[in-house]
A and B are shown apart, each in its own frame.
Chain A
Amino acid sequence: MGMQRDGAEDAVIAYFGDGASSQGDVNEAFVFAAAYNSPVVFFCQNNQWAISEPTERQSRIPLYRRASGFGFPGIRVDGNDVLACLAVTRKALEDARTGQGPTLIEAFTYRMGAHTTSDDPTRYRLASDLEAWKLKDPLERMKSFLYKQQLADRSFFSDLEEESDQLARELRRNVRAMPDPEPLELFADVYVDTPPPLQQQRDRFGEYLDSFVDGAEAR
């Protein structure tokens, strides 16, 4: 709506998952986008599992079909097909930019791993499903496409892999090397304009920390 008011020929894309599709706010966003014909693309990555809850717990119909009830197009795309996702997204963004309103894209895929380290997918889904989806790995598919089309050779992929590993290593190292923030930083940026009571809490906590004989250790 801000872009519309600015007269910008631009669009917004909002990514969310199958679980979030049940949230009231997602549905209110659909209502608003439809009412104002907003230049927005809703991209739902349906990996079929919201931790242990299957999509059947979220919806009786395929998620993309919900869009029609809100009055804008919905489309399902093979979420493991990189080029198809790109094409569908481009089309939806182009529609949004040219005043044709919102689109819901449902990229249908599968969550290969556990949701978190505390999750245990063996409790709620079949190992055979996982095996079947392994064969549809989007990266492998893209790789073989580029290779067969002679758009890239073996050395391209081995260089890429090395570069990726290097980047990941650096990222991990840099994150680990980040210093812990100073304790009083916890008060920063609560407000643009810090109110006196919060400033007072900050000052008193600072004095408390300073009251330790070995100040450095207490901090």
Chain B
Amino acid sequence: MSKITLGRALNEGLRKSMEDDAKVVIMGEDVGKLGGVFRITDGLQKDFGEDRVIDTPLAESGIVGTAIGLAMRGFRPVCEIQFDGFVFPAFDQITTQLAKLHYRSRGKVPMPVTIRIPCGGGIGAVEHHSESPEAYFCHTPGLKVVACSNPVDAYFMIQQAISSDDPVIFFEPKRRYWEKAELDPAATPVPLHSAQVLRPGRDVTVLAYGPTVKTVLDAANADDVPDIEVIDLRTLSPLDMDTVVASVRRTGRCVVVHEAPNTLGLGAEIAARITEEAFYSLEAPVLRVTGFDTPYVPARLEEHYLPDLDRVLDAVDRTLAY
């Protein structure tokens, strides 16, 4: 079995979905001849044609609006938003139309649309290219939100998202596009809306998703650290609280890690849910290691903004000190 990068795994997953279902179309800026700025759609237009891999005008609202029309017509559009910060022009189409059409039509108009968003920082990019907007979408009923963290999940989750009859916002950790892992395409995939325990541990549960999963695994695997249980959330809406709560009941301690700003981020929701569901198991308050409540910082400062191994371990130490 050969190793494959996360970016390549997405490409292979998209290819598989397009082969399996002729109604799957890809659309976005530069997705055709160029293969996307991160080359995630590399070669797909050549093999599936311009009608199925559609280069679009530079108008995100139009991209999502058009995808909604295509979905009404029975297609399964996969939109690429080129960078996280570019999703905001499409925010109205996503929250007002895409998320609500099934509800508004009393179940008559499903919206099997996948919106792929490369997210997060760490690549030294300019403004608008390093954001983590997941909380907005998790706060929107009607949407499902997932984040992949490794090549194996990337390959299977993108296919599961595309085959979902509900709209899925699909976050891709852009600084992990070049991470490699062995992929067995014949393996049985983990269900899309399940969290996964990546590393069992006794002392503290640390939750992460997308780009911070590797950070947390590195922290857990460092020398002379407590025995950390690492959970990759994978699904952000709905959250898989069963897996999280089962873990916290065992460890009694929890740290949530994400790049997005602290206030009203995923960490806040998770902390509230753990308090509701596992209060008597808690030995310490749920702690958060997150980006700060600032706009995404200039590239020269992002190493301070992004949660790193030391900040994760600092929070682990603090929760153990209770």
Contacts and interface: CB of A to CB of B under 8 A. Distances in A.
A195 interface: yes
B164 A193 contact: yes
Contacts of B74: 2
B137 to A, nearest CB: 14
Interface string A11-48: 01000000000001100110110010000000000000
A192 interface: yes
Interface residues of B, number: 37
Contacts of B185: none
B65 A6 contact: no
Contacts of B241: 197
Given A32-B66, A190-B142, A192-B110, A2 B61 contact: no
A189 interface: yes
A191 interface: yes
Nearest to B65: A25
A1 B166 CA distance: 21
Contact of A188 (B66, B72, B107, B242): B107
A31 B57 CA distance: 7
Contacts of A192: 102, 107, 110, 164-166
Given A2-B69, A192-B110, A192-B165, A29 B103 contact: no
A26 to B, nearest CB: 10
Contact of B25 (A5, A31, A189, A193): A5
Given A2-B69, A197-B239, A24 B142 contact: no
Contacts of B61: 24-25, 28
Of B105, B166, B241, B242, the most chain A CB neighbours within 10 A belong to: B166
Of A5, A196, A197, the most chain B CB neighbours within 10 A belong to: A5
A198 interface: yes
Interface string B233-251: 0000111011000000000
B218 to A, nearest CB: 31
A188 B106 contact: yes
Nearest to B235: A195
Contact of A28 (B59, B73, B242): B59
B181 interface: no
B75 interface: yes
B93 interface: yes
A3 interface: yes
Top 4 closest A-B pairs, CB basis? A2-B73, A195-B238, A28-B62, A192-B165
Given A25-B65, A195-B193, 10 more contacts: A1-B66, A5-B25, A5-B70, A5-B73, A5-B75, A25-B93, A28-B57, A28-B62, A29-B62, A195-B238
